[in-house]
């Protein structure tokens, strides 16, 4: 294992793994070597074109399990195709969808809504096109009709944004947080709830984290963060990690990456939420944005991988686990991953199948936009040794 800097002036690629060799707490938590495998070469057909910032959502019906992927942008163009991956067969296809497709974009979110097949749809929220955030960007894909449709909701939908998160709490409720608004550099920290059973949007106002003798704290506005739902016997919370925010230095606001961790406490229901600034033990991931996150559905683990800090000209291909059930507190561990691994990148897509994490696409920034490089690949990382007691992985968010 190694940690090395590969100079691609002014960019650096940082490769993780040193902690697992040194006998640190990371090594003691997960001691076996994990290996990335090229899941596409010779195994998958009709891969999507190289792109970053695509939106994904998983759909299952009986033995069938399909991943839907929409949009994303390459170095030279953005896409409006709806791609589909049969995860059992490893075959990609392009859906021939009826209706007017959404505008080409990246940084949108796609969520499966509804329990019954005839009522299920994928809700597309937000996104960025070549001329900025997509205005009035709500669109839905009806699975049974195989058609793009417009739908009116009661209440006020989230203002235009991209690089936000939209997390399914269940089949009928989605929480939208943050992103960059219509004005460049306007990073948002608002919380919106879609109650699909009522057909209604609602702007939530969670209580801030209470500190002795100080104002209540809430997360700063941010873009490119992750949001992961954890529900155990003792916890029901939406965990926010990282992303880009702004700090004031002197008279000016500066864009910075962060690695802070927040939890939106949902134990009292969706109408009575509160923020908690989470303290952790162990070495956390470096500050980053537009990374990937998956969770274990029957446990309290969150896995964070890849991402970049464009303010420091560095990208990552490491992976970390946050154990939210560790008795002494929320604990970070760096996963001991072998030498073969995907290239560092951000704005990748991520999903889970059985006990493996899959990543696809994404881009590595260059010294200027003309030198950006995007990928058309799929890699898998088996986490079977970490999934004790029949836990499964769940791609709660695919970062863009």
- 19: pLDDT strictly greater than 90: no
The predicted pLDDT at position 234 comes to 81
The model's pTM is 0.90
Share of the chain above pLDDT 90, in %: 70
H-helix or E-strand containing 192?
strand 187-195
Sequence ranges of the chain with CATH classification 2.120.10.80: 54-205, 220-389
- 175: pLDDT strictly greater than 80: yes
DSSP string spanning 208-267?
PEEETTEEEE-PPP-BS-EEEEEE-SS-EEEEEE--EEEEEETTEEEEEE---EEEEE-T
Rounded Cα–Cα distance for residues 169 and 228 (Å): 10
Rounded Cα–Cα distance for residues 325 and 330 (Å): 7
**Per-residue pLDDT tens digits for 112-154:** 999 888 899 999 999 999 888 998 878 999 999 999 999 889 9
The predicted pLDDT at position 220 comes to 97
Query: What's the CATH number of domain 220-389, 2.120.10.80, 1.10.1040.10, 3.40.50.300, 3.30.365.10?
Result: 2.120.10.80
H-helix or E-strand containing 378?
strand 378-382
Share of the chain above pLDDT 70, in %: 86
- Average pLDDT of the residues in 232-248: 93
Rounded Cα–Cα distance for residues 277 and 382 (Å): 31
CATH 2.120.10.80 for the 54-205 domain, yes or no: yes
**Per-residue pLDDT tens digits for 249-292:** 888 889 999 999 999 999 999 999 999 999 999 999 999 999 99
The predicted pLDDT at position 212 comes to 61
Q: Please state, in angstroms and as integers, the Cα–Cα distance from residue 80 to each residue in 4, 130, 351, following that order.
A: 38, 13, 20
């Amino acid at each position: 294992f190694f940690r090395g800097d590969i100079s691609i002036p002014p960019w650096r690629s940082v490769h993780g793994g040193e902690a697992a060799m040194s006998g640190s707490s990371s090594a003691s938590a997960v001691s076996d070597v994990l290996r990335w495998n090229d899941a596409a070469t010779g195994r998958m057909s009709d891969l999507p074109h190289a792109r970053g910032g695509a939106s994904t959502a998983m759909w299952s019906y009986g033995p069938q399990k399909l991943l839907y992927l929409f949009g994303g942008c390459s170095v030279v163009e953005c896409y409006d195709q709806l791609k589909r991956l049969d995860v059992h067969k490893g075959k990609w296809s392009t859906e021939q969808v009826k209706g007017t497709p959404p505008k080409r974009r990246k940084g949108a979110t796609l969520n499966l809504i509804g329990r019954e097949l005839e009522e299920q749809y994928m809700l597309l929220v937000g996104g960025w096109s070549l001329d900025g955030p997509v205005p009035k960007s709500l669109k839905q894909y009806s699975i049974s009709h195989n058609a793009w449709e417009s739908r009116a909701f009661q209440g006020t939908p989230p203002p235009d944004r991209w690089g936000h998160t939209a997390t399914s709490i269940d089949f009928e409720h989605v929480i939208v947080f943050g992103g960059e608004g219509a004005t460049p550099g306007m990073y948002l920290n608002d919380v919106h709830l879609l109650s699909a059973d009522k057909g209604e949007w609602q702007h939530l106002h969670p209580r801030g984290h209470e500190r002795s003798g100080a104002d209540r704290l809430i997360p700063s506005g941010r873009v490119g963060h992750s949001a992961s739902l954890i529900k155990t016997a003792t916890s029901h919370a939406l965990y926010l990690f990282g992303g880009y925010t702004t700090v004031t230095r002197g008279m000016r606001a500066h864009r910075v990456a962060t690695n802070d961790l927040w939890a939106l406490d949902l134990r009292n229901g969706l109408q009575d939420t509160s923020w908690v600034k989470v303290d952790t033990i162990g070495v956390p991931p470096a500050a980053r944005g537009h990374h990937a996150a998956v969770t274990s559905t029957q446990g309290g683990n969150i896995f964070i991988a890849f991402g970049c800090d464009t303010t420091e000209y560095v990208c990552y291909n490491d992976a970390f686990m946050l154990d939210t059930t560790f008795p002494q507190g929320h604990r970070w561990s760096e996963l001991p991953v072998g030498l073969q691994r995907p290239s560092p990148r951000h704005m990748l897509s991520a999903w889970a199948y059985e006990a493996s994490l899959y990543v696809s696409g994404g881009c590595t920034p260059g010294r200027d936009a003309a030198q950006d490089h995007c990928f058309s690949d799929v890699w898998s990382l088996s986490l079977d040794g970490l999934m004790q007691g029949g836990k499964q992985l769940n791609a709660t968010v695919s970062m863009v």
